Amino acid sequence: MASRRAPIALFFFLYLIVSSQSLDFKPHKEKHKIDGPIKTLVVLVMENRSFDHVLGWLKSTRPEIDGLTGEESNRILVSDPDSPEVFVSDDALFVDSDPGHSFQAIREQIFGSDDSSKPPLMNGFVQQAENMSESMPRTVMSGFKPAVLPVYTELANEFAVFDRWFASVPASTQPNRFYVHSATSHGAMSNVRKDLVHGFPQRTIFDSLDENGLTFGIYYQNIPATLFFKSLRKLKHATNFHSYSLKFKLDAKLGKLPNYVVLEQRYFDVDLMPANDDHPSHDVAIGQRFVKEVYETLRQTQEDEAHPGRRSSPRPKLTQAETHPRRRRSPRPKLTHAEDNASLRS
């Protein structure tokens, strides 16, 4: 089954490129001059893991981090004070099951019921997971020991780490990815296939970059999810898409990365090329190798070598985000309202 997905993805990619939305040409603009030291920003958006799950146990060596102490728990039945508790653990698996992440499931995880007018106590993760399978409660309450995820741990220790990182919208993958590039999901609350194929019309950061004479590039591995935006299907943007394996390291080495770089992972398994996006049930160890590869590529670029002075080992311009974590988060998110739906923001 996996071996058949590659040609299907290729066909889908070609369909989006040659769709009726693609015929749009505009005059070439002069390249904008950037006066500051940072010329390139590289964005890598990993998938569906909460802070507690990935870095919560880092608190054991860095007490200032709002992470896990081992005392955090959820009851199997929120409304029953005598219901058994499931405590957080540090034995997360590299390959685990995919927790619930529909809007309804997320609402129950955050509020403990279907009533979102109550305070967000983050006490419904176990209750919601119990309805999926007998083993799921332990899965959603588990986290990784820092030593088990050495790449994330090292990046967090050497650079910076956000312990107030929440999904933009309580929904699944694509609505949150839309927020990354356009600051709205355009009302999407789930991955509806027909809507994704039709494309989303909102203005994106790519439009702003293009209009202001800044360059961007999307380096994809099996299919670029950014093509769910209609504006990126225009033929004039065909040259903004590049094969990650063929072009990213080469462009970085030659100092030819565009101003804004989006790296897209392998979102599904193909023979000899397993997914590396961290999405359950994909192997997190493969995601670690991918992030390490990106970091090492960036720190060896001519672009970094051309701008020394911050520290002896150049910093990569690497940004990470995640879609709804679906694992227990200890802090309570503030509730705000975006233009099209309720959002969770730090």
Q: What is the mean pLDDT of residues 238-265?
A: 97
Q: Check pLDDT > 60 for residue 335.
A: no
pLDDT tens across 10-26, in order? 566 565 555 544 555 55
**If residue 337 lies in a helix (H) or strand (E), which one and from where to where?**
strand 334-337
Question: Hey, what amino acid is at 30?
Answer: E
Question: 305 in helix, strand or coil?
Answer: helix
Does residue 281 have a cis bond before it (omega within 30 degrees)? yes
Question: 173 in helix, strand or coil?
Answer: helix
pLDDT tens across 64-94, in order? 999 999 999 999 999 999 999 999 999 998 8
The share of the chain scoring above pLDDT 90, in percent, equals: 68
Q: Give this prediction's pTM.
A: 0.81
- Please give the structure tokens belonging to residue 243: 């094969």
Residue partners of 276: CB distance under 8 A and separation at least 6: 221, 265, 266, 282, 286, 287, 289, 290
**If residue 152 lies in a helix (H) or strand (E), which one and from where to where?**
helix 150-158
Contact 281, 96 (CB under 8 A): yes
How far does CA 239 lie from the centroid of its chain? 24
- Please give the structure tokens belonging to residue 214: 């800044």
So what's the pLDDT on residue 233? 98
Q: Check pLDDT > 90 for residue 256.
A: yes
pLDDT tens across 281-321, in order? 999 999 999 999 999 999 987 655 444 333 323 333 444 44
So what's the pLDDT on residue 17? 54
For residue 309, with 0-12 CB atoms within 10 Å meaning exposed, 13-18 middle and 19 or more buried, which class applies?
exposed
Residue 117 C-beta-side C-alpha neighbours within 13 Å: 0
* Residue ranges of domains in the chain: 41-49+147-305, 69-142
Q: Check pLDDT > 50 for residue 253.
A: yes
Query: Sorting pLDDT into bands at 50, 70 and 90, what band is 339?
Result: very low
Measure the CA angle with vertex 205, ends 291 and 187; round to 5°.
95
